[in-house]
Copies of this chain bind each other. A is one copy, B any other.
Amino acid sequence: MAVNVPLIGELAPVAGVRIGTANAGIKQTERDDLTLMVLDEGATVAGVFTQSAFRAPPVLLAEQRLKGARALIINSGNANAATGELGLQDARSVCDSVCEQVLDLPADSVLPFSTGVIGERLPLQAMRNGVTVAAQKLRADAWNDAARAIMTTDTVPKGVSRSVQVQRQPVQITGIAKGSGMIKPNMATMLAFMAVDASVPADVLQPMLKRIADVSFNRVTVDGDTSTNDAFMLVATGAGPVRLQAADSEALSEIEQALTEVAQELAISIARDGEGATKFVTVRVNGGASSQDCLEVAYAIAESPLVKTAIFAGDPNWGRFCMAIGRAKAQVDPAKVSLYLDDVCIARNGMVAEGYVEAQAAEVMEKDELTVNVDLGLGDASEWIWTCDFSYDYVKINAEYRS
Q: A79-B319, A395-B395, A396-B392 are in contact. Are A403 and B306 (CB under 8 A)?
A: yes
Q: Which chain B positions have C-beta within 8 A of A349?
A: 84
Q: Which chain B positions have C-beta within 8 A of A309?
A: 394-395, 398-399
CA distance A313 to B395 in the complex (A): 9
CB of A182 within 8 Å of the partner chain? yes
Q: Which chain B positions have C-beta within 8 A of A325?
A: 53-54
Q: Point out the residue from B53, B223, B227, B323 that lies within 8 Å of A305, measured CB to CB.
A: B223
CB of A350 within 8 Å of the partner chain? yes
Residue ID in chain B nearest A51 by CB atoms: B327
A327:B118 contact, CB within 8 angstroms: no
B84:A335 contact, CB within 8 angstroms: yes
Q: Which chain B positions have C-beta within 8 A of A337?
A: 54
CB of A168 within 8 Å of the partner chain? no
CA distance A241 to B395 in the complex (A): 54
Q: Which chain B positions have C-beta within 8 A of A186?
A: 327
B228:A315 contact, CB within 8 angstroms: no
B182:A326 contact, CB within 8 angstroms: no
CB of A38 within 8 Å of the partner chain? no
A326:B52 contact, CB within 8 angstroms: yes
A327:B82 contact, CB within 8 angstroms: no
CB of A81 within 8 Å of the partner chain? yes
CA distance A347 to B84 in the complex (A): 11
CB of A328 within 8 Å of the partner chain? yes
Q: A305-B394, A398-B310 are in contact. Are A319 and B117 (CB under 8 A)?
A: yes
Task: Please classify the interface of chain A as helix (H, G, I), strand (E, B), loop, or mixed, using the class held by over half of its residues.
Answer: loop
> Quick one: which of A174-223 are within 8 Å of B by CB?
181-182, 184, 186, 223
A395:B312 contact, CB within 8 angstroms: yes
CA distance A332 to B226 in the complex (A): 15
CA distance A350 to B332 in the complex (A): 40
CB of A92 within 8 Å of the partner chain? no
CB of A68 within 8 Å of the partner chain? no
Q: Point out the residue from B83, B86, B319 that lies within 8 Å of A403, measured CB to CB.
A: B319
How many residues of A are counted as interface, with CB atoms below 8 angstroms from the partner's CB atoms? 68
CA distance A250 to B349 in the complex (A): 50
Q: Which chain B positions have C-beta within 8 A of A340?
A: none
Residue ID in chain B nearest A50 by CB atoms: B326
CB of A240 within 8 Å of the partner chain? no
B320:A403 contact, CB within 8 angstroms: yes
> Quick one: which of A386-403 are within 8 Å of B by CB?
390-392, 394-396, 398-400, 402-403
CA distance A82 to B323 in the complex (A): 9
CA distance A333 to B55 in the complex (A): 10
CA distance A333 to B312 in the complex (A): 38
Q: A305-B223, A310-B399, A398-B309 are in contact. Are A119 and B84 (CB under 8 A)?
A: no
Q: Which chain B positions have C-beta within 8 A of A400?
A: 313
6 nearest CB pairs, A to B: A118-B319, A54-B326, A52-B326, A313-B399, A309-B398, A53-B332
- Please, could you name 17 A-B residue pairs with CB atoms under 8 Å apart, sorted by A? A54-B323, A81-B323, A82-B347, A83-B351, A84-B349, A119-B318, A119-B352, A120-B319, A182-B323, A224-B304, A225-B320, A226-B326, A228-B322, A305-B398, A312-B395, A390-B395, A391-B395
For the complex with contacts A50-B326, A54-B337, A118-B322, 17 further pairs of A-B residues with Cβ separation under 8 Å are A82-B351, A119-B318, A119-B319, A119-B352, A182-B306, A223-B306, A225-B304, A225-B305, A228-B326, A305-B398, A306-B398, A313-B398, A313-B399, A313-B400, A317-B402, A392-B392, A394-B395
